[in-house]
Structure formats: C-alpha cells, structure tokens
Amino acid sequence: MVTEDYQKLIILREHRDYGTLDRLLEKKWFRPYYVPVVQYQLLFPANPPSPYSALLFSSRAGVRAVSSLVRFIEKAHCFVIGEETQNALCAAGFQGAMERFLTIEAFLHHLADNNRKDIKAIHYYRGDVVKNPNLGRDIAQLGLAYSEQIVYKTSLIPEIPSSIRAVMQELSYSSKSLMGYVALSSRGMGHWDDLIFYHGLAPLYRKGHLFCLSKDIAQGSKIMPQSSITMPSEPTTTSLIACIESYYKRSPSGS
C-alpha cells in the first residue's frame, strides 16, 4: 500500500511499457509516476533476417517490434545494448546466444579488439531516429556485412500531463520529501527540459533532484544544476536503483 511516507519519483520513460526499473521501484519504498516523454509506434511486419546474420538490438521497442519473429531468430547470435534490452529479449522467448554491452561504443570496441570469426554479418533492428550515424561504416570497416531495418517510429509528447504538473506543485510545498526525477535517455532528457521551459516550471523543477542513468544524459541537462544531479557508477538498472536508494537513505528530505 502506498502511503505518504513513500518517496515520489517522476520517471521520464521513452514509452509506456514497464520494464525492470519500474518493477523494482514499485517493490521498494518509492511511488513512481511515469511520463512517456518519447513515444513509439511499431511498424509491422518486421522482416526476418538472413540466416547468416548476427542481430543487434539497442532498445526494448526494437525487441517488441520483432517479437513475432522469435522462431526466425531463436538460433541467431544476438548483441544487445543495455540491461533492459536484454531483459526484453529474454521475456520475448529468445533462448539463443546473447551478448550484452552497456553502449554501442563498447560493442564496436569489442568487435575491433576481437577477431570474431563466428560473425560474418550484422543486422540491426532500430528506430527512425539515427543515434549512431556512422555505425554501418564502422562495422563495414571491420570486414563485416551490415544491414538494418527501421521497425518503429518515435514522437514527442506535446506537453507535460496536468496530473504530473499537479504532483510537482504538491511536492514543492512539502518539507518532508524532495521530488526526484529519473532520466533514462538523452533524447528524453532534452525534451523534458524543453517542456519544463514551455510550462514555466524551471524554478519549481530546480527544487528537486535529478537521477540520470549515465553521464551523457546528465551532461544533456540544460536546467538542473550539476550539484542536484546524481548518477550511478555504471549505466545499469541495478546501479541506478542503488544510487537512488542511497541518496534518499542518506538525505530523505533532500536537505
């Protein structure tokens, strides 16, 4: 049962799906509010990959878009970026070989530093926003064939929901608790800041504390002062949860 003693957090998600972070937060002493700052639309049908291709996934949305193809990819070798992407692929029923990397850059370094004779080609299921424009070139320079398919489109919410603004207002007058914000992507962070400016909520927002999954996301914050930003030692869900818990146990009121 949620009581007033629960710490309230606004989670800046990229879509409405719940993931590992959400389930862990709800089991602990937090009351999460979700804002899908970036939403996605799946594009069907996704095409089955070549039987010789290793597969690359960098988001849960990409996994969901090809979930109906599990029977085609169950014997493929999969590279996944991020803990939540890995969990999504396992939940979809994939039982084949899988390697997880924290970032695309770490994945490319792995390919460059290891002579992967077992990998001949890589097929990437991605969204419409290009986050790594040189990815295909970098993979090709390693002597591997590269192909990709856009399997979902993204859109930005036009405003912060009134219910979320009400929660922010309520917490701003409370001396018991400090509003926490959790940013999980650079794009979501940037759009959230734009919406904060749009609604004139910057002074209110700065009274809270921001938790970012990674250093890159934290550096993209245009409003929250760096002294009010905390990030985990590594960009994983487990580390982020520990980081949030440690902060509030150390200073429950944010003072």
Domain-wise residue ranges, the chain: 7-37+157-250, 41-155
Residue 221: which residues within 8 A CB-CB, separation 6 or more? 183, 189, 193, 210, 212, 229
Predicted local distance difference test score (pLDDT) of residue 5: 56
Q: pLDDT, tens digit, for every residue of 103-142?
A: 899 999 999 999 888 898 999 999 999 888 999 999 999 9
Question: Cα(first)–Cα(last) distance of the chain, in Å?
Answer: 26
Predicted local distance difference test score (pLDDT) of residue 91: 84
Predicted local distance difference test score (pLDDT) of residue 3: 41
Q: pLDDT, tens digit, for every residue of 187-206?
A: 899 999 999 999 999 999 99
Going from the C-alpha of 162 to that of each of 24, 55, 194, 223, the distances in angstroms are: 26, 40, 16, 20
C-alpha to C-alpha distance for 139 and 236, rounded to whole angstroms: 25
C-alpha to C-alpha distance for 49 and 224, rounded to whole angstroms: 43
Q: 7-37+157-250 — its CATH code? A: 3.40.50.10090
253 — pLDDT class (breaks 50, 70, 90): low
Could you check whether the bond before residue 45 is cis, i.e. omega within 30 degrees of 0? yes
C-alpha to C-alpha distance for 25 and 139, rounded to whole angstroms: 37
98 — pLDDT class (breaks 50, 70, 90): very high
Per-range mean pLDDT, top range of 22-31, 51-60, 85-94, 186-195 = 186-195
Predicted local distance difference test score (pLDDT) of residue 177: 60
Nearest to 118 by CA among 56, 57, 52: 52
Looking at the structure, give the CATH architecture of the domain made up of residues 41-155.
3-Layer(aba) Sandwich (3.40)
